[in-house]
Amino acid sequence: MLVGIVITKEPVDTYVPLYVRDGQISTQYIMTTLEELGLLKMDFLGLRTLTVIQDTIDLVKQNRGIDVKFDKEMADPKVYKLWQEGKSSGIFQFESQGMTNFMKELKPDCLEDLIAGVSLYRPGPMDQIPRYVKGKLNPGHNEYTHPSLEPILNVTYGCMVYQEQVMQIVRDLAGYSLGRADLVRRAMGKKKLDVMAKEREVFIHGQVDDNGNIVVPGCVRNGIDEISANKIFDEMAEFAKYAFNKSHAACYAVVAYRTAYLKAYYPAEFMAATLNSYLGNLDKIPQYIDECKALGIEILKPEINKSNTRFTVEQGKIRFGLGSIKNVGTVPVNNIVSERENNGQYKGFTDFCERIADEQVNKKCIESLIKSGVFDEFEQTRSTLLASFESIIDTIQSGKKKGFKGQVSMFDLGSEEQKDKLNEIKYTFEEHEELPEKELLSLEKEMIGIYISGHPLEKIRNQIEANTNINSINLKEIGEPVDQNTEEGEVILALKQNAKIKYKDGQSVKYAGIITSIKKKYTKNNKIMAFVTVEDLYGTAEIIVFENAYLKAGKSLIEENVVMVERKTKYSRR
């Protein structure tokens, strides 16, 4: 979150009028007016990523006894390999699919590449990406609008990438002072057309004062032809609309490198910290759980006597946090965990209910815990607990109302074993056989966003494998041909298992899985389409369903339906 703060010597209301909205005090003047008045406005950026980094460091210290030390050179090949292989989920500023693809093409191997990546992946500078990648992969073949740009742009392969380069261009080519160069940068960035029109003339032909003294030499006086000078100014004006300054991009790149370093060397702790940063967000949690699976990190199911509020790491595995279960909330969970830590583990479901009766844990919360399977270590089935928990809670609350402080009942006498037996009389369980596996898994998915104790496709694995020829692992690799026969259009794909499968242009491929989410949208032409996430036993794939296919298959597009998707492959030539 970005917050602009006005800093003044005296109370702010002695300088500018204020107003209050939703409890927040703001100035009634916009930032440019504040600057014209001579006031200092500072922007403060709050980043969730900084918390993730610190939480990871703390988890590593707690689990491994290691004090994390980042390499000062920031040149570790193992870290850059994550970008090169497209494993950028969780890495600050580099998570989007477009940025991931950019980095896979670029093959970054130094911090300078990350700084450039952050700066280029924006409207405007984005047009320079193919040129930058070409320059990176083919050193010495850079192209410049004019030879005088080479000393300034050679570090970025002939591309304008940073605001500082704009300032250096107007200084070196046209003879601007530092202060005036910064005014040009600001005018371009703020799209001040009148200022830019004036500066174009100065940039090209220079400026003289009333006495004929040269204030700014200009490009033509410095030996640069007028056509090239105009073209360079146009490029600067278009680029500067959305450009970063390099110092800004460098800070982002350092934060990105540190997240990648932690992911490369301490993946379990890093992913646990990332999951904790989205605690309770059932949209984000499954996304990062998938990344854990891709990294080979096992996710342990939530358990009432092992899970904490947050995700934790147990011997390289991640234990699901109770705070991320739907309808639970962090306050009740904190009370549940605190009670367990202070007075020992819960010995059974009724023991749990008795001990948390006064801890703001309502029936909805307990129902969600049951559905997610946190009480599976106890003897009762989930169906029994779902049928019985309300009457048990009512019995406990009724007993508390009838009793008084310090009163001892027959159920409180005797040994722990005798108390447990008496509890069987005290509380009535409505016994039921366990729910069908499909229903259990469906409840888990509803409560925690993922299938964790099994998978609904496991029982039909053989049927799926007999009728399909591609899975989610293969799909992720289709865009990366290792070898290509241009005559037959045959592409060999390298799989993660180091096997190889051949597909041809126009070949029919069949993929099967269970629908986990459907997002319907309408195009500009008012045609319906959908983005359908289909999960198989290895991961997920997003299927784009356009109107014709949607109308034919619309009745099948229901969450938790098992579907088969068939399409033909098409490979771009390189």
Q: What is the mean pLDDT of each run of 10 residues along the chain (574 residues)?
A: 84 90 86 86 87 97 95 95 94 91 94 94 84 89 91 91 92 94 82 83 93 94 95 85 85 96 97 93 82 90 96 95 91 94 94 87 94 92 94 85 52 53 67 90 88 84 88 65 40 39 70 89 89 85 86 85 82 47
Topology of domain 458-568, CATH: OB fold (Dihydrolipoamide Acetyltransferase, E2P) (2.40.50)
If DSSP codes are grouped into helix, strand and coil, which group holds residue 321? coil
For 246, the token pair is 């390099």
What are the structural domain ranges in the chain?
A: 2-46, 67-249, 278-405+415-448, 458-568
Q: In a 3-state reduction of DSSP, which class is residue 562?
A: strand
Distances from the Cα of 303 to the Cα of 267, 272, 323, 362, 392, angstroms: 23, 16, 12, 18, 21
Domains 278-405+415-448 and 458-568 share a fold: no
pTM of the model: 0.78
Q: What is the pLDDT of residue 488?
A: 41
Q: What was the pLDDT predicted at 478?
A: 58
pLDDT at position 420: 52
Q: Mark residue 86 as left, alpha or beta (left: phi above 0; alpha: psi -120 to 50; beta: remaining).
A: left
Element (H, E) at 425: helix 416-426
Rounded CA separation 88/17 (Å): 46
Q: CB–CB of 272/311 below 8 Å? A: yes
Query: Is the domain covering 278-405+415-448 a CATH 1.10.150 domain?
Result: yes
Interatomic CA distance for residues 373 and 381, integer angstroms:
9
| Cβ–Cβ < 8 Å for 323, 310 | yes
Q: What pLDDT is attached to residue 45?
A: 79
- Residue 320 DSSP symbol: P
Q: Are 471 and 481 in contact (CB under 8 A)?
A: no
- Give me the phi and psi of 206, to 5 degrees please: 85, -170
Decide: 374 and 303 in contact? Cβ < 8 Å: yes
pLDDT score for 477: 60
